[in-house]
Amino acid sequence: MTTCDKELDARGLNCPLPILRTKKALNDLTGGQTLRVVATDPGAIKDFQAFAKQTGNELVESGEANGEFTFVLRKKA
């Protein structure tokens, strides 16, 4: 597991909170830094792909284990 500059626990939150919290967390980072998000909302998989595509923040990792979804985003430079 790669180390990230910031971690966000979005477990138990439903749409659109994981995305909104992610956006907020990214605001605290500088370009190139990474954020790891853990979520349980099954809609998050598609939403994080869409979020990355539309905002230009890169989705570096996307995985699932034991009903939890993990995403690593790299903030746009």
Partner 1 sequence: MTTKKLAIIATKGTLDWGYPPFILASTAAALGYEVQIFFTFYGLQLLRKSLDHLKVTSLGNPGMPMPMPMPVLLQALPGMQSMMTVMMKQKMKSKGVASLEDLRNLCAEADVKMIGCQMTVDLFGFNPSDFIPGIEMGGAATFFEFAGESDICLFM
Is the Cβ of residue 1 or residue 35 nearer to partner 1 in the bound state?
35
Q: In angstroms, what is the C-alpha Rg of the chain?
A: 11
Which residues form the interface with partner 1 (CB under 8 A)? 12-17, 19-20, 22-23, 40-41, 51, 54-55
Is the Cβ of residue 19 or residue 37 nearer to partner 1 in the bound state?
19
Q: Which of 7, 12, 14, 15 does the annotation list as catalytic?
A: 15
Query: What phi-psi label fits residue 66: left (phi over 0), alpha (psi between -120 and 50 degrees) or beta?
Result: left
Instruction: Output the smallest distance, CB 74 to partner 1, in A.
Output: 17
Max Cα distance, the chain (Å): 33
Q: Are strands 58-65 and 6-10 parallel, antiparallel or unpaired?
A: unpaired
The answer to whether 15 is a known catalytic residue is yes
What is the C-alpha separation between 18 and 40, in angstroms, rounded? 9
Is the Cβ of residue 14 or residue 63 nearer to partner 1 in the bound state?
14
| Active-site annotation, residues | 15
